Chain A
Amino acid sequence: MFDVNSVRKDFPILGSTVHGKPLAYFDNGATTQKPQCVIDAVVECYTKTNSNIHRGVHYLSDQSTEMYENARKNIQQFINARYSQEIIFTSGTTGSINAIAFSFGEKFVKAGDEILISAMEHHANIVPWQMLCERKNAKLKVIPVDENGELKLDAVDSLLTEKTKILAITHVSNVLGTVNPIKAIIDKAHKKGIPVLIDGAQSIQHVKIDVQELDCEFFVFSGHKIYAPTGIGILYGKEEWLNQMPPYQGGGDMVDCVTFEKTYYNSLPYKFEAGTTNYVDAVGLSVAIDYIKKLGFDNIAGYEKDLLEYATNKLQTIEGLKIYGTAADKGPVISFLLENIHPYDTGMILDKLGVAVRTGTHCAQPIMDFYEIEGTVRASMAFYNTFEEIDRLYEGLLRVKTMFG
């Protein structure tokens, strides 16, 4: 049975106060808080086992390497990848997408080719592809969305052409919360032999991911959004694709043999892990995943669904509040505007009340342009949020309305 009060005790920061008020943290879409076990794991690495991996013959280096490689295996199992060498450690989702856009682009994209993304992408899944298109003189195409914030699926078929080299799409929108039907989209692309990258930054913490079942070529996510440390992320890629792609960074550990005439690259996954990796936070990520597994995705998803429903119903009773993103299938995210009150004003007052929300464009300006707005207020929830905290958000918004309305 899921007990939120006992779960909250695992997260030390949730007990803190802000401006003299208990913290109600609704900025989980930006980053999640860390359970004590993750914090302890990182401290323990630095206290007891710290040593660079794959380098020394000494005891600590062995220990450190083993922990790092065990973390890789744990993540492999977590997303059900076929091989552990399909799991590449990066700095995060942005790092992963940039790596793929560069490496895949070098190998497979030529002038006149097309890259397909959607209108609800985070800048991290737009800009690296735009940079690739500029380098290669290729073209960026965009799957449109409708007023509810759902993809116009009927447009996908005609946008997938013989020129499309890759489809890169988010699983869950960071602004609207829309859960895209990625399995159906992947199948559409595969019918035309087009590989697919899934941006899992906003889904990995909410639903069970099985990359073999999805059959996507690439799946990327960040550790810090799944209760793990910042600065660590995952690039999953099917082995047959990663093997064909060139390294995107050169340096130590990614090489087999170096002479001044020619360098022979190491095999997967090391080919894509140049330099000293973030081996400590990789362990932190592994511990966070164990924590999530212990809670159980069924429990997490069930509780978060209740939170979303409660928050949506409650906020909708506020006259003049408009929710952006009303897809049938949604993650626990509510983007909204209160009358014509500026998001900054709303956010400032909520902050004073101890309620942390994000305001602005959420690194997704194109979707703001679609709705013709400057930004929104976003409350993004996690399993440690409570119904009482939603009540406080609601009360805070009533106060904002009195002040600015």
Chain B
Amino acid sequence: MTLQETQDAIVEEFLQFDDWLDRYNYLIEISKELQPLDNKYKANEYLIKGCQSRVWLSGELIDGKVVFTADSDAIITKGIIALLIRVLSNREPDEIISAELEFIDKIGLKENLSPTRANGLVSMIKQMRMFALAYKTKMEQNK
């Protein structure tokens, strides 16, 4: 599935639910599917600090694609992380850098991405793009 197709699929899944409560319950379900983060990554160097919740993120370059793993101490944040990983992980750096993440808005979870929430998600997306940019540079240097 392409990045865009994945976004569309997520939107479709969420639009099954009319009620916000069901959407959040679905998000909680999704959070449980997130691969547990290896404890070595739950260190300060991987921590993205938010005032409200904490996010740990690592990104590795495997066969020219960036693979992300992440976790959070809050479930709602974790659910959104799972969605972001579904969309952005295992993609080429250029795709990640230029991705327009419209699905969050479309599924009615936009308030979670407001910078004022300080839950670490906005910084997380920025950090994911930084990983992509760094790996892109590295790949170009190795050519």
Contacts and interface: CB of A to CB of B under 8 A. Distances in A.
B111 to A, nearest CB: 8
A342 B52 CA distance: 9
Contacts of B51: 360-361
A342 B73 contact: yes
A344 B53 contact: yes
Contacts of A344: 52-53, 74, 76-77, 119
B-side interface size class: 10 to 19
A342 B74 contact: yes
A349 interface: yes
Contact of B75 (A345, A359, A360, A361): A345
Interface string A354-369: 0000011100000000
B119 to A, nearest CB: 6
A403 interface: yes
Contacts of A342: 53, 73-75
Nearest to B119: A344
Contacts of A404: 28, 75
- DSSP majority for the B interface? helix
Interface string B75-95: 111000000000000000000
B20 A19 contact: yes
Interface residues of A, number: 17
A361 B51 CA distance: 8
B24 interface: yes
A108 B128 CA distance: 51
Interface string B13-51: 000000011001100100000000000000000000001
B73 A374 contact: yes
B6 interface: no
Interface in A100-134: none
Contacts of B127: none
A19 B76 CA distance: 18
Which of the listed residues B54, B76, B112 has the most CB atoms from chain A within 10 Å of its own CB?
B76
Contact of B52 (A341, A349, A352, A360): A360
A348 interface: yes
Interface of A: 19, 341-345, 347-349, 352, 359-361, 374-375, 403-404
Given A344-B52, A374-B54, 14 more contacts: A342-B53, A342-B73, A342-B74, A344-B76, A344-B119, A345-B75, A345-B76, A349-B24, A352-B20, A352-B21, A352-B24, A375-B52, A403-B25, A403-B28
10 contacts: A342-B53, A344-B74, A345-B74, A345-B75, A348-B76, A352-B24, A360-B52, A375-B52, A403-B24, A404-B75
